[in-house]
Chains A and B, each alone.
Chain A
């Protein structure tokens, strides 16, 4: 019995190790996506300003303000410099480098270059200038000013003739990346490390670490002769170690995704915590084994040959079934709940996913952000847990990318890059992403090899979309978006091939023709509401299949665009120029509207503040210094809601893509700027941005009655 118990122990340890390997792999993949997106936030913050660099090149001294503004808006940045190509401004001498530095809570701006500090000899400058591209530096320790570890993001900027004008460098304190990585762990003493391509620590966790072995672990990771093994899927490298100081045993898993500049992420776990549940179970297992043996011997005595085989097979099946159940439950819980958009009167959405017996790789999702409906549908090749895992990753990415992006082609690009990383199993996914602007009905979409959705209005037709390759096939696919405008009460019908390939007992397929017929029939019966449409389609396909076993997930999504006509009782327009003194006129203009609509004082002041912040934002950023430009404000109200529409022809800028201000920081950490958009968002019920005909259009709405 002791022998059995020992074997069981050994087996259980193996199982725990396997589970740990799988969990570590998931954790590292998800965290690498987190890191990737945090870095993308940095590059996005700069991309949003690229127009500014170009415009301000004409005014050398205004570049000081540019560096300062970047620092004020990005509390994670430690420094920002614009190192001009030598002799770019003859009047400024050979070297000119506006620089802003954060020292604690103080921001200092000054000219950094001098003959002693000659940036043109700095390796970062030389590499960026020669390679003509952006890059992330190796980490380095700043001992002079800040005593922290920094990394620098360096990129060239160009003047209007396309010539390189300067190299911009952004210094980042790596601590925020570290905080992000170490925000959650399965085991209390575990921690994450982030390593650069040359194997140096980008982030060193401090304080909370139980064992003091970071140096040893770094040494082992960088030592190619040490004994490392590769995980079953081939993504993660593993080795175990014994701590030099207190002899604790542990294991390290590390992963190098190619999306983050050949950086690696590692997670360190300690055996005493990993196997803690096992030791607890030891005695119980012994008892259970004893009872199990008694029962088994009783059964053997009682009857039957091959009973042990049968027993084994049942156990295995139960094991697989329970795993599939878990995966299935996770998959289903990720789908949007039907009440997510129930409160909206401008769209009516119903989705349905009928899983095949095996867990599959279908997905749909939708949600509204800033009066835009983001939706997607997808189907991963293959079935089972690997397909579900790929879908889960795509789903997470879809949600995280759409937090600051409204262009479906760029979203698709991002999903594809991740899907192509280390895709040894050659899994691919067909995917369709749409973004519907609810105030205007403008629908932008991008298709990656998915079945074309139908548009159901007076007639039924499939939407026109470039096909593109599915996600995960090739990493250099350029996705493009197409667009159309949805008219009132039109319905979009999306589905996966589980619908068209549903089979009856004679192995005939339901087929796209039948789908189209059902939809046409619905148009004739004037029953194109989303719920009815999905129900009808389900009934028809069920009748066709007639009880044959379902072999693939069957997924459908119907989106009806149902904007309501508004009875306008107030409409006025005012045109301002981009000067702060114009705010006085603006406030009087808003006041006359809120008075005419009999709003109480508190509400009127909230509205005034929101509009002032939105307009100030345009005055500050839309047009380059010393350029005059117009801002048009239209106020429009129906019986219960007031709407402000700001239009300017300045630089392309989407304020709804700006990350949210952190209002929990202390005095020292609070950046001076960055509150404007935050206030607009909080004071208004909704905001919405569109770039139309070369103009920025920002809509803000607030309910003022009831």
Chain B
């Protein structure tokens, strides 16, 4: 599981790669921690190479969205595969995230 954060044109992009299961949730959460503290920038989460996500992963994304929203920033999810999109639909997350 790889978590890559880059900054470009005043925006953060997080690339998630691999399987975000419960065993890897803590590692990803720690990698994303800086994003909670920095403010003022929108965040794009690139899911093109994310193969799988469990509810522990959804928790991390929801936590990030809540803290970004509190600072007036957006979180956009990009390139979700069909199976993950299905999980987002099932849990209602599809309605609370911006999805491209």
Partner of B83 from A105, A605, A663, A675 at Cβ < 8 Å: A605
Which residue on chain A has the smallest CB distance to residue B65? A667
A580 touches B58 (CB 8 A): no
Interface of B (DSSP majority class): helix
Interface presence of A609 (CB below 8 A):
yes
Interface presence of B3 (CB below 8 A):
no
Q: Mark B8-31, 1 if CB is under 8 A from A, else 0.
A: 000000000001011101100000
Residues in chain A near residue B70, CB distance under 8 A: 105-106
| Distance in angstroms between the alpha carbons of A672 and B60 in the assembled complex | 9
Known: A105-B70, A587-B19, A612-B54. 4 other contacts (CB 8 A): A602-B83, A609-B54, A672-B63, A682-B90
Of B19, B55, B59, B70, most A-chain CB atoms within 10 Å: B55
Q: How far is the CB of A600 from chain B (nearest CB, A)?
A: 11
B90 touches A616 (CB 8 A): no
Residues in chain A near residue B22, CB distance under 8 A: 580, 583, 612, 616, 619
Q: How far is the CB of A683 from chain B (nearest CB, A)?
A: 8
| Distance in angstroms between the alpha carbons of A327 and B62 in the assembled complex | 50
A672 touches B59 (CB 8 A): yes
21 contacts between A and B (CB under 8 A): A105-B70, A580-B23, A580-B25, A583-B22, A584-B23, A587-B19, A601-B83, A602-B86, A606-B83, A612-B21, A613-B55, A663-B90, A663-B92, A665-B92, A667-B65, A667-B66, A667-B69, A670-B96, A675-B58, A675-B91, A679-B90
Q: How far is the CB of B96 from chain A (nearest CB, A)?
A: 5
Interface presence of A676 (CB below 8 A):
yes
Residues in chain A near residue B56, CB distance under 8 A: 616
How many residues on chain B are close to A (CB under 8 Å)? 27
Q: Using a CB-CB cutoff of 8 Å, which residues 568-591 of chain A contact chain B?
A: 580-584, 587
Q: How far is the CB of A394 from chain B (nearest CB, A)?
A: 35
Q: Using a CB-CB cutoff of 8 Å, which residues 536-589 of chain A contact chain B?
A: 580-584, 587
| Distance in angstroms between the alpha carbons of A582 and B21 in the assembled complex | 11
| Distance in angstroms between the alpha carbons of A582 and B90 in the assembled complex | 26
Residues in chain B near residue A605, CB distance under 8 A: 52, 83
Interface presence of B100 (CB below 8 A):
no
Interface presence of B87 (CB below 8 A):
yes
List the 3 closest A-B pairs by CB distance, nearest first. A663-B92, A583-B23, A675-B55
Q: Using a CB-CB cutoff of 8 Å, which residues 297-331 of chain A contact chain B?
A: none
Which residues of chain A have a CB within 8 Å of any CB of chain B? Answer: 105-106, 580-584, 587, 601-602, 605-606, 608-609, 612-613, 616, 619, 661, 663-668, 670, 672-673, 675-676, 678-679, 682-683
Partner of A664 from B25, B62, B92 at Cβ < 8 Å: B92
Interface presence of B37 (CB below 8 A):
no
Residues in chain B near residue A666, CB distance under 8 A: 96
Which residue on chain B has the smallest CB distance to residue A663? B92
Which residue on chain B has the smallest CB distance to residue A602? B83
| Distance in angstroms between the alpha carbons of A661 and B59 in the assembled complex | 14
Partner of B87 from A581, A673, A679 at Cβ < 8 Å: A679
Which residue on chain A has the smallest CB distance to residue B95? A664
